[in-house]
Structure 1
Amino acid sequence: MAVATLRSVLRCEILLPLFETCRLRDLLCFSSSVDAAAAVCGTASPDPHFMVEYLVNSCGFSPSEAAKFSKPLAHLRSTEKPDAVVNFMRSQGFDGAGIRKVISLRPIYLCCNVEKNLAPKFQFLRDLGLSESDIVDAIVSNHGILGLDVHRSIVPKLEMWESLLGSRELVLMHLKKTGWFFCSSVEKTLLPNLKFLRDECGIPEERVSLVLRSCPQFISQKPESLRSLVARADELGVPRQSRMFVRTLVALQMVSKESFEAKVELMRSFGWSESEFSSAVRKTPTFLWISLDMMRRKVEFFIYVVGYTPSLIADKSDLLLYSLQKRVIPRFRVTEMLKLKGLWTGQAKFSYILSITDTKFIEQFVLPHKENVPELLDILRAGECEGK
């Protein structure tokens, strides 16, 4: 009775680690010979903190940022190398923000030898077919490339990822947008993870590759972390031979144990049993990515407004993936308006109505009634605006 009352109320309301090592020198004692040499090869200063001023004036850092990022550079006696690095990066298309981003991630890059350490990496990326802006994006996303040896590290990683993803185009796409894409060790991380999934879990490499095309970070995690995810998936009863097994692992990787348990408790409060929660995960693992608040709002709508039972939602957990503001509520309002006007009998299930495309929904439920109920399009547009 209480649920029916609440439903009625709500219905009303709705309607890279290989660098040239910079030699350490004594910061406290400055001999005249050192001063003379420094004067020849760069802008020298007897102040051990002169890099603070350099980072502010030459790179655009705030004084507090410069003080922080200058600490690894306290051994420098001149700005010769920093000048060369900054000028080189500018010549390669980096703007001030890009330079600050790279330096803030690892200030020691300012000690690199341009000709030996930096230029070969940029040339290699150009040889791969990347444009100047692509290279900037790739370095900003994967700054560790600057510390990798081209032949001993970058080439093996490139070949490994090309094998995993199936094309160089996909490798380059992720290189430009996915942080730390090239930082995982082939020998210590990628190969052990693949071997574990293949030999111990019985998952074909082709199935793993399909998932990696959209989530390459999955295979880059520590081997012990991957084993932990497999144990969690086993507890949920996901068959290892199922095609959903790897997708469940990816979903679990994105959700902390604390968040997972909070969602279990939330759904238990709505009446889900532990087995129903596990079943929902097995069918639609990505529903775990929904925030706790949004999950609560969606379940409340389906139960108290649409009239679904908790068990039905568990059985059709993909319902939770639809946007509440952009799809669920507007389409529900349209169908309710058609019922009110006596233009629809409600034979089609609401779960079907949510599953069809926007175009098909408009063709089936809006356009045939545009003369009798012209406000239907306004209902849909209002939902789009609310969802922004």
Structure 2
Amino acid sequence: MAAATLRSVLRRNRLLPLFETCHLRDRLFFSSSVDAAAVTAGGTMSPDPHFMVEYLVNSCGFSPSEAVKFSIPLALLRSTEKPDAVLNFMRSQGFDGAAIRKIISLKPTYLCYNVETNLAPKFQFLRDLGLSELDIVDVILKNNGILHYNVHRSFVPKLEMWESLLGSRELVLKHLKKTGWLFFSSVEKTLHPNLKFLRDECGIPEERLSVVLRSRPQLITNKPKSLRALVARADELGMPRQSRMFVWTLDVLQMLRKERFEAKFELMRSFGWSESEFSSAVRKAPTFLRMSLDMMRRKMEFFINAVGYTPSLIASQPTILLYSLQKRVIPRFHVTEMLKSKGLWTGQCKFAWILIMSETKFMEKFVLPHKENVPELLDIMRVAGACKRNDTLHLASEDEKGLN
């Protein structure tokens, strides 16, 4: 029944003639002694040209149609010796069936690798870095190219380069565990040229660049041509290259397609910002552009309609747009308004300064002294605290959605 299903899939995918042709060619050009050597070397030998399709179904759990697709790069295999060894090794390293299927689907020829000379040294290298078995599984699922790299010619130079840029091995491993691109960039063709361009031509001190790269290392992985285009965009905004905000501007621009940038400019212009005010706001607080259009609109409307700020005032103090609306701006505004309505606060302190205050200082100055007379203040802050805890559980706040 299974064989009939596989044959049906092969016909449907028009691969049966190809396999039959390959089989005929193999019978004509490969001697029986070669076939015998393959069998005695280990594994199983099958005269059936579809044996790798069946193998991928039975040994890996792929569907017949998936097996047909992934068997094509394996057409030259005549034995299951190496695939058996690879699968057994991966399972011994903590990979479950789903993880193994993902790795094979990304590059089926991993099944042709030699375990002792190719795979085992890379796993040992990752263990020597201090990664646990679970960490190694996660790292390889995100960076499967590690299995392809030569440890000493490729992996070690990249590791040393990133350690130098980020300042510690711990930060390198942290990014390695959560990203899938950290070790794809060439040191010679990408990392070194970009670093030299930013340092020598743009005049950015390496220590300043390092501060940004510790949290946003993908900036340095752009193609050199793309990085130069980002610098040109920052120059158009009038951002001085000597400014500490210059590198952060590059980081924001790399995440922001030009059409989205234009859409955010048009939105702020609809609130009354001039082009010069928009450019000035970006120079002062470039990260406000990471907000979604919806959140940007909601914050502007609240500051204008509730707080009473003019658009020009917001443009001159764009850092107020960086604070969470639900967790900071609205709760603190409600607290101060309630105190003013009860005659417990004169309102002389500007609201922008109130937003800057730490949570502890705000509680000490505006909430705790009035908790007996105005217990509602504590309720307001509890709701804000619940929002923070909820955001932590979901690993992303509302203000960070839709950055592009």
- Alignment partners' CA distance in 2, 1:103 and 1:223: 32
Q: 1:49 to 1:260 in 2, by over 3 A?
A: farther
TM-score, normalisation: structure 2: 0.83
Q: CA deviation at 1:67?
A: 4.2
- Distance in structure 2 (CA, Å) of the matches to 1:78 and 1:234: 60
Equivalent residue of 2:215, what SS?
coil
DSSP-derived class of the 1:314 partner: helix
User: For 2:23, which of 24, 28, 38 is the aligned residue?
Assistant: 28
- Contact in 2 for aligned 1:112/1:118 (Cα 8 Å): yes
Rounded Cα–Cα distance in structure 1 between residues aligned with 2:303 and 2:49: 65
Matching residue's letter, 1:250: D
Distance 1:96 1:360 in 2: 52
- Aligned-residue identity in percent: 78
Aligned-partner Cα distance in 1 for 2:66–2:368 = 59
Change (3 A) 1:361 1:68: farther
The 1:62/1:332 distance shift into structure 2, 3 A limit, reads: farther
- Taking only aligned residues, the RMSD between alpha carbons, in angstroms, comes to 2.4
Q: What secondary structure, in the 3-state scheme, does the structure 2 residue paired with 1:43 have? A: coil
1:79-129 deviation per Cα after TM superposition (whole angstroms, max 9, x unaligned): 322221121111112233332332232222122111111111111222223
Between the aligned partners of 1:51 and 1:338, the Cα distance in structure 2 is 75
Q: CA deviation at 1:299?
A: 0.9
State the AA in 2 paired with 1:142. Answer: N
User: Structure 1: any 5+ residue segments left out of the alignment?
Assistant: 1-23
Give distance in 2, aligned partners of 1:173 and 1:188: 24
Q: Does 1:113 align with 2:108?
A: no
Asked if 1 retains the 8 angstrom alpha-carbon contact of 2:20 and 2:49, the reply is no
Supply the distance in 2 between the matched residues of 1:305 and 1:75 (Cα, whole angstroms). 71
Whether the aligned pair in 2 keeps the contact of 1:26 and 1:75 (CA below 8 Å) is no
Does 1:134 find its partner at 2:173?
no
Q: Which moved more, 1:56-65 or 1:125-134?
A: 56-65
Secondary structure of the residue aligned to 1:27 is helix
> What is the distance in 1 between the residues matched to 2:367 and 2:51?
69
Do the aligned partners of residues 48 and 298 (structure 1) sit closer, same or farther apart at CA in structure 2, a change above 3 Å counting? farther
Cα distance 1:26–1:358, how it changes in 2: closer, same or farther (>3 A)? farther
Alignment correspondent of 2:402: none
Task: Assess, with a 3 A threshold, how the Cα gap between structure 1 residues 60 and 350 changes in structure 2: closer, same or farther.
Answer: farther
Going from structure 1 to structure 2, the CA distance change for 1:72 and 1:304 (only over 3 Å counts) comes to farther
Q: 1:261 to 1:35 in 2, by over 3 A?
A: same
Higher RCO structure, 1 or 2 (CA under 8 Å, sep 6+) = 1
What's the secondary structure of 2:279's corresponding residue? Answer: helix
* Corresponding residue SS for 2:381: helix
Q: What corresponds to 2:12 in structure 1?
A: none
TM-score between the two structures when normalised by the length of structure 1 = 0.87
Distance in 2, matches of 1:219 and 1:367, equals 46
Matched AA of 1:352? W
Aligned to 2:98: 97
Match of 2:374 in 1: 373
Aligned residues: 365
Q: Could you tell me which residue of structure 2 aligns to residue 262 of structure 1? A: 263
| Bigger shift: residues 264-273 or 177-186 | 177-186
Distance 1:53 1:385, change over 3 A: farther
Q: Deviation at 1:174? A: 1.9
Q: Is the 8 A contact 1:48 1:75 kept in 2?
A: no
Equivalent position of 2:396 in the other structure: none
Query: Which residue identity does 1:127 align to in structure 2?
Result: D
**Residue identity in the other structure for 2:295:** M
Equivalent residue, structure 2, for 1:146? 147
Q: Distance in 1 between matches of 2:262 and 2:58?
A: 50
Residue 297 (1) aligns with residue 298 (2): yes
2:355 counterpart SS class: helix
Write out per-residue CA displacement over residues 29-65 of structure 1, whole angstroms, 9 at most, x where no aligned residue: 2539376555553234445444444334433444554
Q: Which residue of 1 aligns with 2:70?
A: 69
Structure 1 residues 57 and 321: CA distance shift in structure 2, 3 A: farther
Contact 2:285–2:319 under 8 Å retained in 1: yes
1:169 matched to 2:164: no
User: For the structure 1 residues 369 and 70, does the alpha-carbon distance in structure 2 shift closer, same or farther, using more than 3 Å as the test?
Assistant: farther
